[in-house]
Amino acid sequence: MKSTPARVARYAFVFALVASLSVLALFPACGGKVFNSDDTGPTSDGVQSDSDGQTGGLCNGTCSSNDCDADGLDNAQEAALGTDPCASDSDGDGIPDKVEVDAPKICVASPESDTPRPIQGCQQDSDCPKGKCVGFDPTNKDQDGDGIVDGEEDRDHNGLIGNCKALCPQGNECGDGQTCNAGKCTPVIDAKCIGGETDPRLADTDGNGTPDKNEGTNLVCNTNALINPTLDTNQGGDWTVALDPAFGTPRQVTITNVQPTEAALVFDDAAAGVAGFVLSKAGLADPIKQDEADEQLMANVAGAAITGVFNRQSFKTYDGFDAVTSQRLVTIAAGTSADVLRDQLLVSVSGHAAGEVSIPQVGSHGQGSRFTLLVTTVARPDRVILLLAVSPQPSFDDVSKPTAIRMRDATNGTALAKKGFGLDAECDKFQVDSLPVADFVWLIDTSGSMSDDQALIASSATEFFTRLKASSIDFRVGVMRAGCNASGVSLNTGKFTTDQNMFSSWITSPTGPTGCENEAPITAGKNLYETVLSTAPPVTQPGDMSMGLRPGAKLIYVFVTDEEERPLQSSDVESRTLTQAQFEAKAAFGPLLSFYKQSGIIPFGMIALAPACTQKAEPSWGAKAIIEKVGGASWPICQTDKTILNAALNAMITAAQGASSTFKLSRVPISSTLKLALQDKIVPRSSEKGFDYDGPNNAIIFNLAPTDPIFPKVGDNVAVSYRFFENAPAIQ
């Protein structure tokens, strides 16, 4: 959903560490760190102060100004107010002292139910028929005592509630629902102008009998609404891990002959059938190469067959490290449990013999013969860290269960920091303007060996379109033959579609350019964009299937081939004898890569991957390299059956949801802590009917059809609250 510029409220809550255990503009987070009322520590300008704001002379003797914190209140005024002259936000609520002092005053009675309604503005107590004339209190971080920090209620920290105004000297300055009378806006606060904010002086701003903390965005935008993840810090592994409490207490793994960078822990959620581990070890600087090497090590698990489902989608962690995430399918003897498979995988990638790795046991769970495996590899300068989780495939695929969400939260990298970092919390607010928009183009190799693969894709059209329709994406789908000629470039029938039957027929009989034996999806995609999509008139009308780009739409390509890109080869079987690096060094490869990096197209691929496809096909080194370097993912065409294909398409649609989402968060959250409110309703975290999170795009996504009652509508307010590691930077 497209979102209008919104306010962001930051509120902090610092945890002690437990030793050894997604066209959106946001205003920057305002204010300094919010401390609990009993905290002693740095004030918001970084100066350590006593209760009177002074240590060893005014501001540690560093200030000779009459306004030490440069907040517009001189030191004498601050002394009279009881505020800290060395801190521009004395109570740490995020609202500057000067703003609180200057905020318009209102009449507030005790008990609050006696407060005059509609709310009345005032200058002094005598102006109030009941109660007192009250402004903002710069010395009290929760003035109305409702458990919500004042800066969470006045989220833009300007001393006004929404766009409600106090004065109208020109006669036209009042907010929505207000009227200008004799230079004053009345009522001072109205439901139409508060814009989702609440008044820090009133526990029930609108006087409807429901406390502010129990309605609107305050349902999630307060620290009491968020779970406290289980924290584990490890010196040898140089990590802090923040796990969902459903995993219980993580257990340290004992490694004999341990190396300086080595450490491991395991965790289990037996109810969801999930078992996982965190492993630190020496490794390669390139996480893609490390993941490829570890995939080969995993194949050493006795009796296990491991197939790539969604390989090596690249991203950066919140603290700037390169990472890749992959999904795989593990087939093994019936009756194998998730925890046993996890233990075998941990030993296989640790580089140690089984007898050197002692893993604490908690009981068997999650039996099956086919398992979904998620693994993320983070490459730091001195080590690699693997985050891995497994569960029985039926549990992962069951959208009514929490299994898939639990696994992604444990492995998407958001739960991992370097050792020693605590947690803060954040609330991002959005307003919905439109749906996320994405166009999918399938580029099909139609050489003689491809007919069975085309038939397989066509047979999965129902699952593909059902998933798309539940993804909240405004989508179109097109198909084109992967010829390399610059003439005849066009989608099937010259248009996109939203009809699955038409898609199926196009897949089995694609039209478009010829040349290069129709084995050139990368080149065909480049020609399609440059000669058709980007030159055609923009498509702006709903339901228009014309070949043009839609404003704000993400363009997603799906390469389908069992060959190397023909223009990159000098002979038919060259890719079987050359490496990926050698193909990347070819003169023809550089321009193709540059185009895809600059175009904004996100490529995915059902392609020939080595070593799995080397004997049956020619490795698609060019497509693999472009996909990996531009942030897509691929799966091996020679091992793809309907199960693999549907799993890959589900993962691709999730990635498309994240890429097209306009709910891109202002920081990287610890995703297990996410909460979301739509208007006055809490929306559940759900793969079936609710919201979810896409890690590589740092975006909120919705798994809802437009007919669902909680489907976000234009004009709706959405608030997303979460905890994050305190060193996570704000994202501009």
Q: Is 60 exceeded by the pLDDT of residue 40?
A: no
- Residue 10, H or E segment: strand 8-11
Phi, psi of 247 (to 5 degrees): -80, -5
Q: How far apart, in whole angstroms, are the C-alpha atoms of residue 188 and residue 177? A: 10
d(Cα 173, Cα 167) in Å, to the nearest integer? 7
Which is nearest to 610 in space by CA: 645, 646, 634? 634
Between 631 and 189, residue with greater pLDDT: 631
- Please check whether residue 45 lies inside any domain of the structure: no
Q: Is the residue at 618 inside a domain? A: yes
Copy the structure tokens of residue 558: 């799906």
Q: At 184, phi and psi to the nearest 5?
A: -125, 145
Q: In angstroms, rounded to a whole number, what is the distance separating the alpha carbons of residues 548 and 565? A: 26
Confidence band, pLDDT 50/70/90 cuts, at residue 46: very low
State whether 242 and 304 are in the same domain.
yes
The verdict on 340 and 480 lying in the same domain is no
Domain boundary among 660, 689, 723: 660
The answer as to whether 328 is a domain residue is: yes
Highest mean pLDDT among 7-16, 35-44, 423-432: 423-432
How many beta carbons lie within 10 A of that of residue 282, not counting itself?
A: 12
Residues 67, 58 contacting (CB under 8 angstroms):
no
The model's confidence at residue 680, banded by pLDDT at 50, 70 and 90, is confident
Domain co-membership, 401 together with 352? yes
443 and 319 in a single domain? The answer is no
Same-domain pairing of 510 and 546: yes
Question: How far apart are alpha carbons 174 and 715 in whole angstroms?
Answer: 21
674: nearest Cα among 328, 225, 249, 178: 225
Asked, for residue 698, whether it belongs to a domain, the answer is no
Query: What pTM value is reported for the model?
Result: 0.82
Which helix (H) or strand (E) segment holds residue 3: the answer is strand 2-4
- Structural domains counted in the chain: 2
Same domain, 582 and 447: yes
pLDDT at 49 over 90: no
Is the predicted pLDDT of residue 647 greater than 80, yes or no? yes
pLDDT of res. 643:
95
What pLDDT does residue 219 have? 78
Q: Which residue has the higher pLDDT, 110 or 41?
A: 110
The CATH number assigned to the domain holding 471 equals 3.40.50.410
Tens digits of residue pLDDT in 582-603: 999 999 999 999 999 999 999 9
* Residue 3 forms part of a structural domain: no
User: What percentage of residues in the chain have a pLDDT greater than 70?
Assistant: 92
- Per mean pLDDT, which range of 70-79, 267-276, 421-430, 638-647 is the poorest? 421-430
Two structure tokens written together for 130: 């009941």
Whether residues 413 and 442 share a domain: the answer is: no
For 411-477, the DSSP string reads HSSTTEE-TT--EEEEEEEEEEEE--EEEEEEEE--SGGGHHHHHHHHHTHHHHHHHHHTTT-EEEE
Q: Which domain holds residue 331?
A: 236-418
| Phi then psi dihedrals of residue 370, to 5 deg | -130, 130
CATH of the domain at 389: 3.40.1000.10
Contact by Cβ (8 Å): 236, 260: yes
Mark whether 456 and 605 lie in a shared domain: yes
Q: Which domain-ending residue is among 660, 689, 707?
A: 660
pLDDT reported for residue 52: 39
At 732, the pLDDT band (50, 70, 90 cuts) reads: low
Distance CA 204, CA 394 (A): 47
**Could you read off the pLDDT of 504-537 as tens digits, one per residue?**
999 999 999 999 999 999 999 999 999 999 999 9
Q: Are residues 387 and 460 in the same domain?
A: no
Regarding whether 618 and 491 lie in a shared domain, the answer is yes
CA torsion 667-671-673-679 (nearest 10°) is: 70
Domain annotation covers residue 527: yes
Tell which of 660, 694, 723 closes a domain. 660
Residue 410 neighbours by CB under 8 Å, 6+ apart: 243, 244, 247, 267, 274, 276, 387, 389, 672
**Percent composition of the chain: helix, strand, coil (DSSP 3-state, to 5):** 25, 25, 50
Answer yes or no: is 467 within a domain: yes
| Overall average pLDDT of the 447-476 stretch | 95
Q: Do 391 and 459 lie in a common domain?
A: no
383 and 447, same domain (yes or no): no
